[in-house]
Structure 1
């Protein structure tokens, strides 16, 4: 390898580096590009050839072999994305200690422990036990965050995977983005987004959207270095990572990869935390209400306990009130009451709500990936639960995405299916012309696999035509890559045609292909059945098949080979053409799509799509049964509705149309955007699928955008929320099912937590008022908090979805998250549990054979009664969590689907085991004593009785509870989230988790809709 010594200077106008480790970052500084400094720097190195010499690559053949790839990667780095450093476990533990109430409880526990040590006789037990319990909660919470953060980071790496085409050893090869190295010669086309920085070498009419990097909305025209040195105005040879190809195809030399790229430099400067999902915001309203009630109950309990203590002191004849008040024992009791109040707040404020959302999302995202849904934005998972409209693209989503020529109009005749083989017998000169027009004038590079079948790489329609030519005996390698191609004018959405000027058989040919209606407009002749050019009539035009078609035409240009072909006006080129052929290309419908479409309708989801295969998909019936608005042309739809400042003009007309509309034929990007806009204005929740650059506006406008993982362009994937790894419509049904399941899991958790809160808060106040002490001690309530927050969120938030979820309508946009069915369950379970706990608390000792001789050891606390109270309370919550697995009015059996979720049962077994260990060995640490066998049996009878009551409650009509609505469920404004009681009192344990996942992806809702880029 030769060494090129570059002198290191402080000035930005110089390349910085030493020897072979040259640093090209100054080439891509915006000021340097704008001021022409970068052009000068490249010129100093000898232009493209000088750079090629540094890397020891041939610009026509690319990197030589894998050995050179390895050398370049070691020297200049790998093309790996910036990955935010994951938080170590000890930092997560420290962050959990930021919880205000836990901090207060820790201080109180330390003071209690110190006072207990001074007092002696085991007085330090409770303080130390609370101290240990707090750190157990912190440890479990931090451990859970640690695991989830790493799960999201693993998924993040999947999002950065993509494929590009490069020249390696003279061959066009498809490689992963991560395998690109400095010195690679990379091919790009319309719709690509660069993830490396490089120098433009060659191409045709390449226009780049650099707004993401420069903030400038105007497209930048790219040209080779020598052209830019002559005329710097409006042209540049520099291609930056993060920019998009709006027009054209071309070749670039890669100069920077990985963390050195412009895009990654900006990412490093602009790191930010993720925003909460809509469901998390909505749940803050629920948490706020519960938090307020918890604070009131905590204060009330503390005041009641304090008043009862002072009354007791006032009634004591042996010592005066002040003598007792200034005693160490009084301070210990007041501190104990204070800890009970703080613990009530810890238990009441539902810290587990945001944690449950995050766990559910983490669980769902992982499972959805296994079912071919790669989630980019977390919110899209939950939003899919409410989707009631799917606007589907056709190609690849509903079809196999393996294009094939199944009919062709050529040589004056129509050929279909098996007749295509007869074309081999046509005149050789005509076949040569047919092959040249299709093989020269394309950009795809399909490859023949080991089994002899082609792998369609690039534009699928072009691949189909290339395979057709191969069947006729003409191979792509004989035509491309080639120096015979003099000029290429790429396809765009306005012209709808691609043009190539080619030196072929000692003549200059113009070959064009595109939409047949556009090609036919430019043709005055066609090749008839005698192989002669004849006038093209309207009757000939009518013979063309109405499939997915593509027209090919040509003319011979009277120019010398040395002529400047770039200067020929496009208007001249596209006149007086001769039609070669019209090809009918069909993409078969996937076998499972018709049944998936029918499942959508059963699920209350309307599917709207393009007309060509609507009947094959069972979307449309016979023409005689169609409503006038059921299948419409895009132009008619646009004319009747229109769009103005991202709103539909005639919303009433739009509403009349969409009631019936299922098919939108010949839809433009604007039509798709109008459809998505109008449906959202009518409060629908919509999903849009797409694979092309022109689908991006509609994908961004939709509530959830689906991009095709195989055929989708980078622009399309960038705009989407979920990527379908298999390009299959059935995978969208899977996303709907998981979205509905997220809502279900959260509702199950809320249903369970509300019951625990209602019962715990009520019994705390009642116990304090009647028995002069809270029935549950601080350590016991912390254990309950662990059950109802962390353990319950893990158990209930990881319930897998049932297919039965698809047999009902989607969740409404304004539907309350706590519905009448849940209120019915919470009220029924709470009344039963309160009744049982009051029975245990106030029933005479002889009924349950309570041993009051133990009371003296626990400062006259009715220890066996309160231990049974504690045991029954916990077991009832465990059994209630089983009942809460069912949300509908149909499922009466709480054990149906018994083995669907092994984690649920594992957690419940752990809870039962720990509870029994506390009873058996907790003693004065947990403030409990042993229970008799009969007392244990009664605890289980009461707990299991709650499940029987839950079955009975489910038979009650839910309409009886329709009027109940006690929560601020419209949610809290995002800017006010940190001002809520829940936020101030309890640190949200899920804040960090999502940020790792969303960090490198723009929040779709905050991105400016650059519609002008795609309108063409």
Structure 2
């Protein structure tokens, strides 16, 4: 049939009326906008308030210049690192996408000539010529020819869909992807040739609609929720502590009888009190926390990139560690995403998984029956052309070293697969006879078989048909696709009395590593639900093999069954849900929504356009590297190697990050609580200034920044995958952490104040002045919180366990010891300190080190009490 297609003028008119074939792309936020958005973070906002306070104090002469500068640097680093890292990751993804799009073209008939244009130039009314391997450029109707199309990008199905022209009077539903006359953008032609007439272009295609749907705002990550709550708690603690300190200093002054003689004295006392109180507010804020989060996100992102995981949206990583439910696509994620031969059974029921285990006669028949009788070809160890079934058979021959035995020289006739006969055939010419090999649907072939070849190559009567049928029933329940192979003397593929060769079981195999990874993820307390377009029986078989379905209390639902349920009914079943079969794109989005309404942290994996809306709505979306660009755009994390085990790594890295944040908080909040208590109780005991403003700020800045680096490089430990997920609503500070912070802060407060006020401890330093004792107090305070850093880094009783795995931690802690030695030895009048003797340093060191055995006792008690 001759087609003229559109003229140049008609193309222009169509483009004006219906638009072009470009998909709308909302560009990512520029770097400056990401940075500005970062200032909305609650922890950054508190730091901004602290910065303003410090600037005011600096301008009235109550603060040094480096104090506001230090906080400003912390803000810039914290906000900038995460923004720059995310911007770079997005840049890489955009570059890859642009490179791929530049190569997309379509064969279009214009003014009677076949020409090649860029996909974006296709318009409504164009006649597009499609061949095997072509990607459909826009939605349209088949008007000539017939093709088989892989629609997995849209519906997740590995089975190819046949597309043929519509007969007059026929109708079809374009929303039904299995209709036989309409093709969709993004799908791939597997075999055949056809002409289609474009009906819809650009954003109005099904592909385009789904691409637009994914560009929605996401909800706050679990860490953002927890940090917002923590920010409120820290603010209250700081303000209450500040008020108490002001009140304590004023009350102590009044009751001690040392009241100022004049108004100026009172003003000076009030300013000093407020200065200390404001410093406590500043010290109560762990400004290193946002910086730690940024360091962790960037550091873990780089580590994951080496494991073939691209973190596109930086917050997706920390969310992965909090996952409580994971909705996983089947094809290409749990399974390999391609058909492969599992085994072959002969007429007496014996099975073989390798060709080499068969008789030589049998081997020759297999090569001819599935290798020569095949629409694909083997070239240099690769399969070229053919449909998915033929490619699987050819791959099987290549893997068994038989591809070189395929010889087409004696082929008389090849009859490709006939949908009416449901088989393909090939006639081979030998010296004295012709032999026809037939390959196709078992129900069409086995009923014509009178003989079979046994394992020794001898021809036997096929009397045990029931045995063969029972075997095929068992294989069907294992989600196998069955294919029979037979032969007959002569050139007639319709002849009776066939000789049965074998029945071949083909399946999209479960990834071996996925089975292990799924178990690891389940052990981590994450519920895994497989969502697939397969029929229920097939889905159950795959789920059983993957270790998802045990059959006890596990629930399997189809899309139709879900549609009949209310949201409340589905919520009741969700905890036991393991498989959703015959799933539609809308089902995936509904599942994500319902799980989020139950306050679960939801993950979704996928590779097709059909997965994109759910990938976007989920708390963290894992897109497969071989998937569509729309899916990658929607996902937070792209798994470049399509490997389920990468999901396990993402969860582990996310949990490592969360653990590091908690370790840092234990360390830093212990510092803050100890500082507030020391500065509050000290004046009540008779000393207005225990730690000076400069000392407090130096402690705060040194500990915050250096500790952020130390905990930001903590290694990922497999033991984290044996813990249950942290609920979205849970506080970031657990009861165990709270206890640890208070006990250790109380001890630090006690030993520091003992140096000033408890004679047995005070006398250890000899006959010295108050400045010397305050210097010892300052040194002890810094060393104690440094030693407490070892307590904070592990929940194991031994604080030094596995210390060699984080060399950076050791370097940082040694640096803190060096810094505090320099502060005390050379600080002089600026830091209000005196240099200490070796004897005094030893006493300070022993008092500070005692925090380690004290915390070991606490850990032992909490483990025994299962607290």
Shorter-chain TM range is: 0.5 to 0.7
**What corresponds to 2:66 in structure 1?**
132
- Relative contact order, CA 8 A, sep 6+: which one is greater? 1
Asked if the contact 1:384–1:735 (Cα under 8 Å) also holds between the matched residues in 2, the reply is yes
User: Does the 8 Å CA contact 2:623/2:638 hold for their aligned counterparts?
Assistant: yes
Distance 1:420 1:718 in 2: 52
Contact 1:641-1:648 at 8 Å conserved across structures: no
Give the TM-score normalised by the residue count of structure 1. Answer: 0.58
| Partner residue in 2 for 1:585 | 506
Alpha-carbon distance in 2 for matches of 1:272, 1:690: 18
1:895 to 789, 800, 805: 800
3-state SS of the aligned residue for 1:783?
helix
2:766 pairs, out of 845, 849, 863, with 849
Please show how residues 282-361 of structure 1 align to structure 2 within 5 Å.
Answer: 282-305=226-249, 321-322=262-263, 334-361=270-297
91-100 or 796-805: bigger deviation? 91-100
Q: Tell me if structure 2 keeps the 8 A contact 1:669–1:695.
A: no
Q: Deviations over 1:458-484 (max 9, x none)?
A: 986563245469867899999xxxxx9
| Aligned equivalents of 1:759, 1:164: Cα separation in 2 | 57
Choose from 868, 879, 899 the match for 2:776.
868
SS of the residue corresponding to residue 779 of structure 1 reads helix
Distance between the aligned counterparts of 2:676 and 2:366, measured in 1? 91
The one of 884, 887, 890 equivalent to 2:792 is 884
What do you get for the CA RMSD once the two structures are aligned?
6.4
Counterpart CA distance in 2 for 1:782 and 1:191 is 65
Q: Find out whether 1:838 has 2:753 as its counterpart.
A: yes
Q: Which residue of 2 aligns with 1:794?
A: 709
The alpha-carbon deviation at position 111 of structure 1 amounts to: 3.5
Alignment of 1:288-687 (within 5 A): 288-305=232-249, 321-322=262-263, 334-387=270-323, 396-397=332-333, 403-406=339-342, 417-418=354-355, 439=375, 448=379, 452-454=380-382, 463-465=391-393, 467=395, 544=472, 546=475, 549-550=480-481, 584-586=505-507, 592=513, 595-596=516-517, 598-600=519-521, 602-605=523-526, 610-612=539-541, 619=547, 629=552, 644=565, 648-649=569-570, 651=572, 658=577, 664=579, 667-669=581-583, 673=588, 687=603
The 1:875/1:402 distance shift into structure 2, 3 A limit, reads same
The 5-angstrom pairing of residues 98-247 of structure 1 reads: 99-113=47-61, 127=63, 129=64, 131-143=65-77, 145-160=79-94, 161=96, 245=186
1:735 equivalent in structure 2:
650
CA distance in structure 1 between the partners assigned to 2:825 and 2:581 by the alignment? 72
Aligned partner of 1:946 among 851, 854, 859: 851
Give the match for residue 494 of structure 2: none
SS in 1 for 2:310: strand
* Residue 387 (structure 1) shift: 4.2
Cα distance in 2, alignment partners of residues 273 and 864 from structure 1? 58
Which whole-Å CA distance do the structure 2 matches of 1:935 and 1:717 have between them?
Answer: 61
The question of whether the paired residues in 2 share the 8 Å contact of 1:186 and 1:251 is answered with: yes
Contact 1:291 1:350 in 2 (8 A): no
Q: Alpha-carbon deviation of 1:309?
A: 6.5
CA shift digits 1:91-142 (9 cap, x unpaired): 99999899543444444444344xxxxxxxxxxxx74x3x123213423542
Distance 1:289 1:476 in 2: 77
Q: Select between 597-606 and 295-304 the one with higher mean Cα deviation.
A: 597-606
What CA distance in whole angstroms lies between the structure 2 residues aligned with 1:906 and 1:187?
63
Map Cα deviations across residues 43-97 of structure 1 (whole Å, 9 max, x no partner): xxxxxxxxxxxxxxxxxxxxxxxxxxxxxxxxxxxx9996765459999999989
Checking the alignment, whether the CA contact within 8 Å between 2:230 and 2:732 is kept in structure 1 is no
Contact 2:345 2:502 in 1 (8 A): yes
Deviations 1:470-508 (A, max 9, x none): 867899999xxxxx99x999xxxxxxx99999xxxxxxx
Which residue of structure 2 aligns with residue 969 of structure 1?
Answer: none
**Once the 2 structures are TM-superposed, how far is the Cα of residue 703 of structure 1 from its aligned partner?**
5.4
Aligned mates of 1:477, 1:356 — CA distance in 2: 65
1:94–1:281 CA distance, 2 compared to 1 (3 A): closer
Question: Whole-Å Cα distance in 2 between the matches of residues 719 and 89 of structure 1?
Answer: 18
Deviation digits for residues 416-457 of structure 1 (CA, Å, limit 9, x no counterpart): 5425986886699x96xx8899638xxxxx984xxx322789
- Residues 935 and 704 from structure 1, CA distance in 2 versus in 1: closer, same or farther, beyond 3 angstroms? same
Q: How many residue pairs are counted as aligned between the two chains?
A: 750
CA 109–526 in structure 1, closer or farther in 2 if over 3 Å, else same: farther
Change (3 A) 1:474 1:714: farther
TM-superposed CA distance for 1:897, in Å, is 1.0
Distance in 1 of aligned mates of 2:612 and 2:393:
27
Unaligned runs of 5+ residues in structure 1 are: 1-5, 7-12, 16-25, 40-78, 114-125, 171-179, 212-221, 225-233, 236-242, 253-262, 441-445, 479-483, 490-496, 502-512, 531-536, 554-578, 621-625, 853-861, 963-1016
Q: Structure 1 residues 372 and 408, CA, compared in 2 at 3 Å: closer, same or farther?
A: same
- What is the alpha-carbon distance in structure 2 between the residues aligned to residue 191 and residue 301 of structure 1? 75
For residues 475 and 680 of structure 1, do their structure 2 counterparts lie closer, same or farther at Cα, with a shift above 3 Å needed? farther
**Paired residues of 2:383 and 2:395 also in contact (CA < 8 A):** no
Q: Tell me the SS of whatever aligns to 2:691.
A: coil
Matched, 1:774 2:689: yes
1:963-982 to structure 2, matched below 5 A, reads: none
- Whether the 8 Å contact between 2:308 and 2:641 is mirrored in structure 1 is yes
**SS of residue matched to 1:804:** helix
1:289 is displaced (CA, Å) by 1.7
